[in-house]
Chains A and B, each alone.
Chain A
């Protein structure tokens, strides 16, 4: 099943709805890369709340999306990793250190927004 990708201002939101086959994951990778170019997106949120398993293939693929979009000038943040899934990923030995993560969609968008905005002026002017 294809993962719907919504455009929200300068960001894309990919909301995974159900368990992904490897084919679905590869398609998500292609779709995100295509839409980053089409919409000149500055950031991507991938919401994995619905995933009950993040095995090595899914983890590597999401990491791949984060690295590839960064090369195109857009930051990716993975949101909604469930507690049991996080536990399994650590046991499995998945390295997610260089990937931005956030608790949920709201936190993920706030993270991207903060990256986009210039530092607040200290003088208040």
Chain B
């Protein structure tokens, strides 16, 4: 099992590839079936924003460790338009009718760690981690 996998994101088929790479990496670490599904769903959400808003980008998957815990780190990066109002993007649009509809609040609930770095015109980098339960 490779410790790091890079998946270029240019089309919707690449989103499916990134999901399945994350599944096999997480499966190797002993993540549960439920956690693998949550991780794959989170990747789908952030990678789709790349194809929709930035055109192209990259998903980097890496095994990370914290003491005995191990996890899958996902860094989804693009050099697209960025997000002007991060606070608005993180509002839960599905329940309030507000928010930008980028799916980011829901995505944050699917993973253990969630960081967003973005600025208008400077692209977007989203880092997610799903840790093993052991």
Interface residues of A (CB under 8 A from B): 19-23, 52-57, 82-85, 87-88, 91-95
* Complex Cα gap A56–B15 (Å): 13
The interface size bin for chain B is: 20 to 34
CB contact between B37 and one of A21, A57, A87 (< 8 Å): that residue: A87
B45 touches A23 (CB 8 A): no
Min C-beta distance of A54 to chain B, whole Å: 8
> With A and B bound together, what is the CA distance between A53 and B38 in angstroms?
8
Contact partners of B44 in chain A: CB under 8 A? 53, 55, 57
Would you call the interface of chain B mostly helix, strand, loop, or mixed? helix
Query: Looking at A19, A54, A82, A83, which has the most chain B CB atoms within 10 Å of its CB?
Result: A19
Give A72 Cβ to nearest chain B Cβ, in Å.
Answer: 27
Instruction: Report A-chain residues with C-beta under 8 Å of the C-beta of B36.
Output: 84
Q: What distance in Å separates the Cβ of A1 from its nearest Cβ neighbour in chain B?
A: 10
**Are A57 and B20 closer than 8 Å at their CB atoms?**
no
- A92→B109 contact, CB < 8 A: yes
Is B53 on the interface with A (CB-CB < 8 A)?
Answer: no
Nearest opposing residue in chain A for B101, CB measure:
A56
Tell me the bound Cα distance from A91 to B94 in angstroms: 12
Q: Quote the shortest CB–CB distance from A26 to chain B (angstroms).
A: 10
Across-interface contacts of A83 in B (CB, < 8 A): 34
- Report A-chain residues with C-beta under 8 Å of the C-beta of B72: none
Is the CB–CB distance between B45 and A21 below 8 Å?
no
The residue of chain B having its C-beta at the shortest distance from the C-beta of A84 within the complex is: B37
Residue pair B95, A23 in contact (C-beta under 8 Å): no
Residues from 92 to 122 in B contacting A, C-beta threshold 8 Å: 92, 94-95, 103, 105-107, 109-110
CA distance A85 to B40 in the complex (A): 10
Which of B15, B23, B41 has the most chain A CB atoms closer than 10 A to its own CB? B41
Q: Please determine whether A91 and B48 come into contact, CB atoms closer than 8 angstroms.
A: no
User: In whole angstroms, what is the CA distance A105 to B51 when docked?
Assistant: 33
Chain A residues whose C-beta falls within 8 Å of the C-beta of B107 in the assembled complex: 92
A3 CB → nearest B CB, Å: 15
